[in-house]
Structure 1
Amino acid sequence: MSSDYELTITPVKISEIPAEETIISLGQALLDSTPSWKPGKTFQKGTVKTYSRPKGANDGAPWHCRVSEHTPEDATFDEFWSKLGVNKAENEKQYIPDIKKVTLIKQISETQSVWSLYYTFPPPVSPRVFTVVQTTYVDTASPRTGIIVSMPVDLSSDTELAKLEEKGVKGRYVSVERLKEIEGGKAEWRMATSSTPGGKIPAFIAESTMDSTISQDVTHFLHWFHSIRSKSAEQPANA
């Protein structure tokens, strides 16, 4: 894989997934650039800020970012990481209403795996299938940070793995999420994503609702997490 690889919605072949260190480095660089992106609307009473970047020469779609800060009452760093950095796809199915099924396609390492996510939407929109490789990394130096990168994967060259995908219109997304400890025991949750729903949905329609959609994920996560929090012991983010 070329060292000049970039994070885009163009799927990578299953046999050409970049090294984990490369993926994490690219994700870190992308998030480091987000403070210079164009500010957008704020949501959830100003607690979730959004930013965007136009489609660049090598991008398949524009980029969108959301940033939120959370007190330990919302969730601690360890609590966030236990649900976002571990079993991410399975947990997303619990709090994102449109996700109806997730399938582990391949476990590459303890910190990298390929998942297929099956989304359904109200008619007339057809179901969508997003297949991604998810790579995670935790830096335990203080302040701790954890990164999750999801990038689209093309399984067509491996017929056995391709059989595991659900049937549906293939969409594509790339996303980078970072959890970071900040002052006062708080945690910052920063996420940047670029996507296309595929099919016949006009790009401008999908783009027009993106900021609202990604901000709602924060609300969905916290509502779900608080419903299970008493049953979920904190897990240190040291792996």
Structure 2
Amino acid sequence: MSQPDDNFKLSITALRPPAVPSEETIIATARRLTESTSSWKQGKTYHKTVKTYQRPKGPDDGAPWHCRVSEHAAAEAMFDQMWDKLGKDKAVNEKEFIPEIKEVKKVKDLSPTASIWTLYYTFTPPVAPRVFTVLQVVHLDDASPRRKGMIVSIPIDLSGPGDEELAKLEAHGVRGRYVSVETLTELENGNTEWRMATSSTPGGSIPSFIVESTMASKVAQDVPHFMHWLHALPK
């Protein structure tokens, strides 16, 4: 990876692998974004406990941003349980609880905490399958009394020269792009907060207003899907 880049912005603009900034830059930028979500406009609450927020598209954004926040008591899921499935092999585990994901492949490890993945989604016809290729960077801060884990996903472009072998691992489909920051935070009351902010485009010819009108409910669905899957795992 290249040297830290103070001008780096999280957006749906896909990066070539050589242009990926340092992990320190990615995590610092993601931390600032997460902190900003507390000032975003609050939207609906789904499934009784999943709050949603949104931020309009800004000058550095390719699409609007959406955020969901949920708090989980230890009896429902502890920090360690959630981090084990979200902070490790996240794409592989997402395939198990997000119905639209049919195939995932690891494209390349860049470091012990940064890997490129490609995910193949299918949808109800006539919507064509989508391919999302992302770099996922994970960071666990366990130095403070209350731990915080972060998973950052940024879109990657493998169409350039030198990436031909990596591109062969991508499935065939319309190329979509998404960027996301997920954080798990241990709270003083013993609960775990799960916060996720994302911006995305499905690519193709789907009108953006249709996509945006359903984003809040779509991102909120991931919470009960994950919990149902987690609780069904062998003990």
TM > 0.5 fold call: yes
Counterpart CA distance in 1 for 2:141 and 2:226 is: 23
Query: What is the root-mean-square deviation of aligned Cα atoms in Å?
Result: 0.8
* Residue correspondence of structure 1 range 176-191 to structure 2 within 5 A: 176-191=181-196
Which of 134, 142, 152 is 1:149 aligned to?
152
Counterpart CA distance in 2 for 1:229 and 1:212 is: 29
Task: Give the corresponding residue for 1:192.
Answer: 197
Instruction: Note the C-alpha offset of 1:229.
Output: 5.2
Instruction: Note the C-alpha offset of 1:26.
Output: 0.6
1:62-107 per-residue CA deviation (whole Å, 9 max, x = no partner) reads: 0000000001122100111000000100000000000000010001
Residue 166 in structure 1 maps to residue 171 in structure 2: yes
Residue 32 in structure 1 maps to residue 27 in structure 2: no
Task: Give the corresponding residue for 2:116.
Answer: 114
Residue 20 in structure 1 maps to residue 12 in structure 2: no
Counterpart CA distance in 2 for 1:216 and 1:142 is: 31
Instruction: Note the C-alpha offset of 1:184.
Output: 2.5
1:120-143 per-residue CA deviation (whole Å, 9 max, x = no partner) reads: 001000000000000000000211
Paired residue type of 1:177:
E
Instruction: Note the C-alpha offset of 1:183.
Output: 2.2
Counterpart CA distance in 1 for 2:37 and 2:234 is: 31
Query: Where do 5+ consecutive residues of structure 2 fail to align?
Result: none
Instruction: Note the C-alpha offset of 1:109.
Output: 1.0
Counterpart CA distance in 2 for 1:175 and 1:27 is: 9
1:194-231 per-residue CA deviation (whole Å, 9 max, x = no partner) reads: 0000001000001000000000000100000000051x
Paired residue type of 2:185:
K
Task: Give the corresponding residue for 2:100.
Answer: 98
Residue 57 in structure 1 maps to residue 62 in structure 2: no
SS at match of 1:93: helix
Counterpart CA distance in 1 for 2:231 and 2:112 is: 27
Instruction: Note the C-alpha offset of 1:6.
Output: 0.1
Residue 41 in structure 1 maps to residue 44 in structure 2: yes
Aligned residues: 229
Could you list the runs of 4 or more consecutive aligned residues of structure 1 that deviate by over 4 angstroms after TM superposition? none
Residue 135 in structure 1 maps to residue 161 in structure 2: no
Query: Where do 5+ consecutive residues of structure 1 fail to align?
Result: 231-239
**Identity in percent:** 59
Counterpart CA distance in 1 for 2:52 and 2:217 is: 9
TM-score (norm: length of structure 2)? 0.96
1:106-161 per-residue CA deviation (whole Å, 9 max, x = no partner) reads: 01111100000000001000000000000000000211000000000001121110
SS at match of 1:75: coil
2:146–2:188 Cα contact (<8 Å) kept: no
1:3-54 per-residue CA deviation (whole Å, 9 max, x = no partner) reads: 2010000001111111001000011000000010000000112x11000000
Task: Give the corresponding residue for 2:86.
Answer: 84
Give the direction of change, closer, same or farther, for the CA distance of 1:7–1:134 in structure 2 (3 Å limit): same
